[in-house]
Amino acid sequence: MLKLFTALTLLLLTVTGAAAAPQTILALGDSLTAGLGLGPADAFPAKLEAALKAKGHDVKVINAGVSGDTAADGAARLDWALGEPVNAVIVELGANDALRGLPVAQAEQALDQLLTALEQKKLPVLLAGMKAPPNMGVDYQQAFDGMYQRLAAKHPAVLVYPFFLDGVAADPKLNQGDGLHPNPAGVDAIVARMLPGVEQLLGKAAAN
C-alpha cells in the first residue's frame, strides 16, 4: 500500500510539474532578433516575453538571433539552436539575403528546408517576412517580397507575419542611427503588432 501511495505521489508531482512548465519559444533570426545595438532587455525576444507574460502567458522566449545570418546560415544552425526542448519557433530570416542581393532562390530553398525540418519535428512555426530594399530593382523586389507567401502556400500549417518591420521601417523615431535596426521604441512597436500572431502560435503549441 505504501509503495502504491508513493508511486501515485510521484506521478502527481510529475504531472503537476509538467503542467506548470512554461511554454518555450525559440526566436531564430538575424540581427533584428539578436538586438544589435540594444541591451539584452531591449531585444525583440526579451520584450516579446515580457509582453506575453503581461497578458498572463507562462512563457520563455529564447534569443537565437545571430547578426549577419542569411537564411542559409540560420537553417544550418537549426539543430544547434534547438539544443533545449521548445514548444514553438519564430523564424525571422532573409533580411541579409536582400541587403546583399543574394539569389532569391537560394534564400527560398534554405527557408523551405528549415520549415520542412521544423514540420518533421512537429513544432508550430511563425514565419516573419521581410521586404527587399528598393535599390535592388523591381524584379528582385517582386521575387523576394513574394517569397514568404510562396513558402506559406507550400507549408500551410505555418503562420505568417508578412513584414517583421511593419510600421517601423524608414521611421527615424523608431530606428537606430543606421536606419536599419529598430531602437527600443521600434522593438515595442514590432512586439505590439506581432503579439496576436504569437498568441496564435502559443495556441497551436498548446494544442500539440
Active site members: 31, 178, 181
List, in order, residues 6 or more apart from 58 with CB less than 8 Å away: 20, 22, 23
Could you give the C-alpha distances from 76 to 47, 112, 161, 172, 188, in angstroms and in order?
26, 12, 23, 34, 29
CA distance 159 to 87: 15
Do 40 and 64 form a contact (C-beta atoms < 8 A)?
Answer: no
Q: Give the CA distances from residue 102 to residues 108, 144, 165, in Å, rounded to whole numbers and listed in that order.
A: 11, 10, 20
Looking up cell 525583440 gives 44
